[in-house]
A and B are shown apart, each in its own frame.
Chain A
Amino acid sequence: MSDIAMTHSAPKPQTAKSRRSSAAGWILHNVVWIWLIALVVIFGLFNQYFFTLFNLQNIMVQATVLGMIALAMALPLLVAEIDLSIPANVGFSSAIGAMANTDLGLPFFLAALIGIAVATLIGFFNAVCITKLKMVSLIQTLSMMIILQGALLALTQGRTITSLSPGYVWIGQETIGGWPVMPVVFVLAILGMYVLLRHTVLGRSIFAVGGNQVASNSAGIRVDRVKILSYTIAGFLAGVAGYLLASWQMAITSNQGASYLLYAIAAPIIGGVSVFGGRGSVIGVLGGVLLLTVIQVGLAIISVPSFYVGMIGGIMIFIAVAIDAVRVRYFG
């Protein structure tokens, strides 16, 4: 029992010490951003090109797809579940959308909407399995991931879909005054998620359910409904991410999305989303996404031999997570 007394005596000798520890706490709480700035400076020192406008735009575009997937990933984590099938959903749903466009000849916006609808439905289906059938989310979504990856392979017959219509790829290719349009979607998604989590009853319920499911139920929160909505919104975000990825790459490969899995889990967690649920923020997820993107882009720009990129990137993520663990240990 944490029995911290609220005594009224003024803490005299501790002030200096506690001020120091609160400064350390502040640094550790914002470690993602400090680490991010440090890496930007380091990469910039290695190669001036890193500071160019073109590279900034590149980072924004790269961060968009990862960011959308990370936001999707964060929602099930916040309700103390997980959805491993999200990156596979990204690939599968975009293939459906693209084929509706190329094979069925539907207009591109309708085709994109079909893809997003499919992704949303998959998220909803996962949630129903987890809440109503009481399947364990880790395994249920793992199997869904394998199914969707297999389905994508079957759908594409191992080929890469490239014959996407100009309308379909517009969002990923268009620039206005030299600035790419695609990151606008990510900004909108961030704002939307922020409003959802901070200002709606559903958002509040998501944190409550993630914090203590049993107590949430007794407090009058419909736990199953909250989980279903979280997964469904996550599915929707995955669908949008799939559309953006296809449109940006102007292609859908037979393993589209799969490479995002680990980064999409890492980004929210680096940004402070708890794997045990109930803790996290949109700003944190953004920080995690930018950090991972800067690492990827930076390592490419300072031309680290490709054999070392994975290892060095992994070490940088490791450091971020280790610092975060220290923060939780000492500052809660």
Chain B
Amino acid sequence: MTAAQSLKPETESRIVLRVEGLGKTYGGVVALSDVDLSIRAGTIHGLLGENGAGKSTLVGIMSGQRQPSSGTIYLDEKPLPPVDVRAMEEAGVFLVTQEPMIIDHLSAAENLMLGIWPKRRFGFVNWRKLAIDAARMLDGTGIDPSALAGSLDAVARRKLNILRAMFSGGKVIILDEPTAALTVDDRAQLFDFMRRLKAQGVTFIFISHFNDEILEICDAVSVLRDGRYAGGSEDVGAMTSEDLSELVLGRGLVLFERQRPTFSADAPAIHLTDIRSGALNLPSLAIRAGEVVGVTGLPGGGGKELARTLFGLQPAASGRIRFADGAERALPAHPAEAFAAGIAYLSDDRRRDGSIAQMSIAENISLSAEVALARGAFMNAEQERALSQRYFSSLGIKAPNSSVAVDTLSGGNQQKVCLGRVLATRPKLLMLDEPTRGIDVGVKQDVLRIVDELSRTGVSVIIISTDTDELVRAVDRVLVFQNGRVREELAGEAISRSRLRNLG
């Protein structure tokens, strides 16, 4: 049962959505087992859990996208028959997914009314009513109804999705990690917006990996672990971040903390000279062997551009790279050259740019190292298998075996596969773009630990991150980029939360 017993009188509103004994199996794999959960009307209900704990499966069932193997959903205490997405939406339950469902070349107003166009007779769209209604809905949100959706920023797109759900009669709106890829300001803006809608009586189910977000905005919280209900509270105010982590992991969380090595002045290093591409302008930079350098700044500031230029994904106007062994070369023109030269990069968008979803874990891990292992045109099957197996087990990828397709894995495990793929190329310079975004706090520590261990073998690492917490705990030096240049450099103990926040 939920922790409904510890109710405070003022939060006692009716239960709008309840699930009982919910279970789901895929093939032989149990994704969800005997979950009971109650959501009260007009609250923001946090849903926490590790990658693969069953959050997405649960909200998938709640929103009608997946059918439960067992159990019942009650809406306003009335049991629902097995239903599909449309029926759930008509009943008022909407899922807003991580990737906003938005059609880029339609206007904000049209996106808002997608599928619910105000109609005239004979199926004609009532454009005037559409424009008026949309303008009213968007009033005060800062979104221009006639702006093309493709030109909107991440927050506006999320808002648009939430508004669309509301406008379609949404009573319960499920937000699956809405804060992923948002900046601190964006997040505050989104939270204000949610509070305003809550005051209008909308109920939210809010999925997040961040304890501080849950503590900030949620009235109640439920935690899933290994597909089961692990605990929860209807009085989030009384909880601490540690309480939440313990519920999520089932044990106390040991946060990773890097022991910063000391480098001598003449330590071997990778030297970058005169790196220019678009607005990016980096006269010189030395990254010592075994050093972990954090790169931060606003989007477009130059951090991501630096990595993509060094990796050959973005054309360079100029630039040389000299490795610790003295070998100097021009920047690679293609990722294939970069891997061959010992430069590896892992994109922040692992869905689009990280792995081949329908290929197996093993095939993905060996994908980038394949050319180096090949005997002429032929694959070196045994060595590839051995390599994949090594990273499959050393990275602790949770899957029945390595021949499972990557798209059946949870986000955190997909990220480990991607990491395995770039590590398998044995890079000298490893660049990771937001390596822990959207993955749970437990796997996040794993990833940071892997990076740490790798650096101890002499690999130079660049981590591009907007997660201040990660920068404070995992890197030796932080470069703050602005307008394509390094604006500030922090090292060692000078890397602190307050310094990084102020740099914003």
- A interface residues, Cβ below 8 angstroms from B: 1-9, 11, 14-15, 18, 21-22, 199-204, 207-208, 211-212, 214-222, 278-279
Contacts and interface: CB of A to CB of B under 8 A. Distances in A.
Interface string B385-408: 000000000000011100000011
Contact of B377 (A21, A200, A207, A216): A200
A218 B53 CA distance: 30
Interface stretch (B150-158, B332-340, B454-462, B468-476): B332-340
B30 A11 contact: yes
Nearest 5 A-B pairs (CB), nearest first? A3-B56, A211-B356, A220-B336, A220-B339, A220-B335
Given A4-B31, A212-B357, A220-B368, A11 B56 contact: no
B450 interface: no
A204 B379 contact: yes
Contacts, number: 139
Contacts of A201: 370-371, 374, 377-379
A15 B355 contact: no
A215 B353 contact: yes
Nearest to A11: B28
B56 A215 contact: no
B31 A5 contact: yes
Contact of A208 (B55, B367, B379): B367
Given A199-B378, A208-B367, A221 B336 contact: yes
Contacts of A221: 336, 367
A79 to B, nearest CB: 13
Nearest to A201: B374
B353 A5 contact: no
A196 to B, nearest CB: 9
A3 B313 CA distance: 30
B189 interface: no
Nearest to B384: A204
Nearest to B344: A220
A222 B356 contact: no
B291 interface: no
Nearest to A2: B407
B36 to A, nearest CB: 17
A6 B399 contact: yes
Contacts of A4: 26, 29, 31, 52, 57, 408-410
Contacts of A7: 29-31, 33, 226-227
Interface in B1-60: 25-33, 51-57
12 contacts: A2-B56, A3-B55, A7-B29, A9-B226, A11-B25, A21-B27, A214-B353, A215-B352, A218-B345, A218-B353, A220-B336, A278-B358
A215 B356 contact: yes
B294 interface: no
Contacts of A11: 25, 28-30
A286 B289 CA distance: 53
Contacts of B367: 204, 208, 216, 219-221
B335 A211 contact: no
A220 B339 CA distance: 7
Given A11-B25, A11-B28, A200-B379, 13 more contacts: A1-B411, A9-B30, A11-B29, A199-B378, A201-B370, A208-B359, A211-B356, A211-B357, A215-B354, A217-B313, A220-B334, A220-B371, A222-B334
